[in-house]
Amino acid sequence: MINIIANYLHQLLLHMPLICGTYISVSLLKVPDLSLESAYTCGALFASALLPMLPLPLPLQLIVLICVSLASGALVGLLSSSCTMFLRIPHLLSSIITIGIYHGLYQLLVGSYVATTSYANPLACLQLSPYYPEMGCLLFMQGILLVVLYMIFKTQLGYCFVTYGNNASFFDHFSISKRYVFIMGICIANSLAGLSGYLFAQSTGFAEMNMGIGKVLLCITALILSKTIIPIKKPISLMVPIYAGLLFFALQQLLLLIGFNLRYFTMIQALVVLVIMAFRQRNAQPSDSLGV
């Protein structure tokens, strides 16, 4: 039982930045942002590739790698959001273009696969238990992350993220830079995805070019589940991604417990989204906002 709980917590902590990032991008766009998948891979590959080049004590190494993964993710966001804002390309197409460009960059700069198993794990620098060496560090990091995000959501920019999704023309009327709000939001969201990618790669011992595929579906499923089961009226609340993570990985562990083969889990996620959206449509609830 402890193993199940530890595994649940571990998966939740690895994915929490990604879910928070998706929450921000959905608040902005009202539709999922595909470039998050590229940011996730980018953070994982670049930080993993840098690991052997850092002859530093583990805590310092971890701080540098976190910064690198956040910056890598933010660069992906910068490219996709700049294409949308400056070239006036629809964001879906901008994301597809971004994925294509970064696909080439990965192979050019770091290769399609990076293994980290032969190096000391920086995530084990704050051990609470020898059985779960990464748990202490992950808990500490996520604590800081949630406090920072809580503060961001209370700022002018946090409110602007909600406003952008709700009524983007507001910014034109009040001479507020729409470009700045959009680019900042997408960069923050993608940097969080980059961090999550690095944490996952460090934990599994490798990063590879296709590891981001399906991650947006995972997060959208989690967020829609959260908003359906525990509706929160506040326009932007940190509790939404927290509940999303808790519910999603609880469902995953439950399916594992009853002997479900996780190879079909992506299909289950898609079906969950499909059923909830169909139900919303039948009850004439607005579906453009994905309920998020």
Partner 1 sequence: MKGLLLRAISFSFNKTQTPFFNDLSTSFERDALHFIMGKNGVGKTTLFRILGGNYPADSMIAGTICIDDTCYDLTDARNKQQLKTRVQLVTQNPKDMTIGCLTVEENMQMASLGHLPKFAPLPSAKPLYDIQKQYGISPLMRVDDLSGGQRQVLAILMALQRHCSIVLLDEPTAALDDKNSALVLACIKEIVSKGIIVLFITHDKELARLYDGNATCRQITSDENGTRCISS
Q: How far apart are the first and last CA of the chain?
A: 33
Question: Is residue 283 part of the contact set for partner 1 (CB under 8 A)?
Answer: no
- N residues, the chain: 292
Question: Is residue 159 part of the contact set for partner 1 (CB under 8 A)?
Answer: yes
Distance CA 31, CA 35 (A): 12
Question: Is residue 88 part of the contact set for partner 1 (CB under 8 A)?
Answer: no
187-226 footprint of partner 1 as x/- string (CB under 8 A) = ----------------------------------------
8 Å CB contact between 106 and 112? yes
* Contact residues for 261 (Cβ-Cβ < 8 A; gap 6+): none
Question: Is residue 131 part of the contact set for partner 1 (CB under 8 A)?
Answer: no
Single-letter code of the amino acid located at 225: L
Q: How many CB atoms lie within 10 A of CB 90?
A: 10
Among 3, 117, 118, 175, binds partner 1 (CB under 8 A): 175
Which run of H or E residues covers position 59?
Answer: helix 58-86
Which alpha helices (DSSP H) does 230-264 contain, by range? Answer: 239-257
By beta-carbon proximity to partner 1, the closer residue of 177 and 285 is 177
Question: Is residue 285 part of the contact set for partner 1 (CB under 8 A)?
Answer: no
Q: How far is the CB of 286 from partner 1 (least distance, A)?
A: 12
Among 3, 117, 118, 169, binds partner 1 (CB under 8 A): 169
Among 145, 235, 268, 277, binds partner 1 (CB under 8 A): 235
Catalog residues that contact partner 1 under the rule CB under 8 A. Answer: 152, 154-157, 159-160, 162-163, 166-167, 169-170, 173-177, 180-181, 235
